[in-house]
Amino acid sequence: MKTGPLSHIKVLDLSRILAAPWSGQILADLGADVIKVERPKTGDDTRSWGPPFLKDASGNDTKEAGYYLAVNRGKRSITVNLDSKDGQRIVRELALACDIVLENYKVGALARYGLDAVSLRKLNPRLIYASVTGFGQTGPRRDQSAYDFLIQAMGGLMSVTGERDDKPGGGAQKVGVPIVDLMTGMYTAVAVLAALEKRNLTGIGDSIDIAMLDVQVATLANQAMNYLVSGKTPKRSGNAHPNIQPQDVFPCKDGDFILVVGNDSQFAKLCETLGVADWALDERFATNPARVRNLPVLQALLRERFAKWTRADLIAALDKVGVPAGAINSVADVFEEPQVKAREMLRYVPHPSGVDVPQVASPMRFVENPLQTQTAPPLLGADSESILVELGYDAAAIDVLQKNGVI
């Protein structure tokens, strides 16, 4: 039995790749029954986006790429050929039984099959239908495809990510994870849950239009506002924060560490730890605006002091006085971090290949409705028969659908 705050909700996930499937995984983590519809034989594109692939009990590669395994836990998979009338009928029947539909087809693509928001919400007025695209349902680019990398560039993120042009390694950089896809999935989950709450009051669902470019523009956050209030275009500043200082990567005797001073009190504690308490009274550094304006001088002074410390000793000393600091962990280091272990962020679930597949757990924690450890990302079409039985199909009808290439 499903647990979690959404254990009473059923989701029809017509999406593939990352942004919308990420939203579906969030809903599955929250306990929803998420039915993933995939193409027969090939399935979601990300199934083949490897190596690496999950290895079976014999150490051989399966057909499950790490990319796919990161986005689809807790779901059930049914294969449906949307080009067939029978396949379209199955999707309509699923939509009648569901609360939420997620899709990320090109604008207008599903209308050809009668599976668009207007068509399905006529059948089920309570349905919440979320369409996720690169550029949205309106505007001059509405018909164009988009990927995370492109939107990071178009949406301004790469213009403020990376080292300054006048420094070694300078130039625009994309973020190391597909952050626009992930944030789009988050916004989609928030939107459908808001629509779900409204439906509880009115009995009427909604159609939701989420665009990746809109999401990236929205998440420019302080950098967007820096420009809008000053008229000055933000520039890349490497790891240095544009508004709060000192926040950067600094070298010690034996390696680099991260320093994140968030206010004047923390700066004073930093200075005291370094044996230069008077810096906190220096008019050049006493306030954050002053530190930002005099950053080159401050950084040079800090580097001179940090060079006398080992990284472990400095981090320990700063931890003791409440100044945020830490090492730059590799991905492998992250899963050895004691805090990450204590929070059980890495879990293993049984996989049909005969091994336990690692999963990065949901960060959401509920007291009254605890989230259960989810099932592994499903094999392609693993649940086709059981889902069809739930819709009322008998064995003979399912056999016909299989022979006709519908499922």
The answer to whether 1 touches 366, Cβ cutoff 8 Å, is no
Alpha helices in 124-211, H assignment, sequence order = 148-154, 179-202
Choose the final residue of a domain: 328, 358, 388.
328
Cis peptide before 246 (omega within 30 of 0): yes
155 with 125, same domain: the answer is yes
The whole domain housing 214 covers 10-218+347-403
> Is 2 part of any domain?
no
311 Cβ contact list (under 8 Å, min separation 6):
252, 253, 254, 255, 256, 257, 327
144 with 18, same domain: the answer is yes
60 with 98, same domain: the answer is yes
Burial, 391: exposed, middle or buried (Cβ in 10 Å; 0-12, 13-18, 19+)?
Answer: middle
> Is 236 part of any domain?
no
The whole model's pTM is what?
A: 0.92
- What is the spatial distance between Cα 381 and Cα 171, in angstroms, rounded to a whole number? 44
Q: Bridge-partner residues for 358, per DSSP?
A: 348
- What is the spatial distance between Cα 185 and Cα 24, in angstroms, rounded to a whole number? 8
The answer to whether 251 touches 303, Cβ cutoff 8 Å, is yes
- Counting Cα atoms < 13 Å in the Cβ hemisphere of 363 gives 3
Say what angle helices 311-321 and 264-273 make with each other, to 10 degrees.
130
Cis peptide before 51 (omega within 30 of 0): yes
Identify the CATH number of the domain in which residue 84 sits. 3.40.50.10540
The answer to whether 83 touches 77, Cβ cutoff 8 Å, is no
Q: What does the pLDDT read at residue 240?
A: 87
165 with 308, same domain: the answer is no
Q: What does the pLDDT read at residue 372?
A: 85
The answer to whether 123 touches 92, Cβ cutoff 8 Å, is yes
> Is 22 part of any domain?
yes
Element (H, E) at 334: helix 331-334
Measured over all CA atoms, what is the biggest interatomic distance in the chain, rounded to whole angstroms?
A: 84
> Is 74 part of any domain?
yes
Among residues 29, 44, 116, 181, the one annotated as catalytic is 181
166 given a catalytic annotation: no
For the chain, list residues with pLDDT below 70: 1
14 Cβ contact list (under 8 Å, min separation 6):
37, 91, 101, 102, 103, 104, 105, 110, 115
Measured at the alpha carbon of residue 256, what is the angle toward residues 254 and 262, in degrees to the nearest 5? 135
The answer to whether 38 touches 81, Cβ cutoff 8 Å, is no
Q: What does the pLDDT read at residue 186?
A: 98
> Is 292 part of any domain?
yes
113 with 182, same domain: the answer is yes
- What is the spatial distance between Cα 163 and Cα 149, in angstroms, rounded to a whole number? 18
DSSP line for 75-104:
EEEEE--TTSHHHHHHHHHHHHH-SEEEE-
Q: How many domains does the chain have?
A: 2
Choose the final residue of a domain: 295, 328, 361.
328
Q: Bridge-partner residues for 325, per DSSP?
A: 259
Strands 75-79 and 33-38, bridge-based pairing? parallel
172 with 310, same domain: the answer is no
- What is the spatial distance between Cα 307 and Cα 320, in angstroms, rounded to a whole number? 20
The answer to whether 75 touches 377, Cβ cutoff 8 Å, is yes
165 with 267, same domain: the answer is no
Choose the final residue of a domain: 276, 301, 328.
328
> Is 357 part of any domain?
yes
151 with 120, same domain: the answer is yes
Element (H, E) at 390: helix 384-390
> Is 187 part of any domain?
yes
Identify the CATH number of the domain in which residue 322 sits. 3.30.1540.10
- Counting Cα atoms < 13 Å in the Cβ hemisphere of 51 gives 6
146 with 188, same domain: the answer is yes
373 with 320, same domain: the answer is no
Q: What does the pLDDT read at residue 70?
A: 97
- What is the spatial distance between Cα 226 and Cα 219, in angstroms, rounded to a whole number? 13
Q: Measuring CA to CA, which residue among 12, 25, 64, 47 is closest to residue 363?
A: 25
Element (H, E) at 250: strand 247-252
- CA 323, distance to chain mean position in Å, is 29
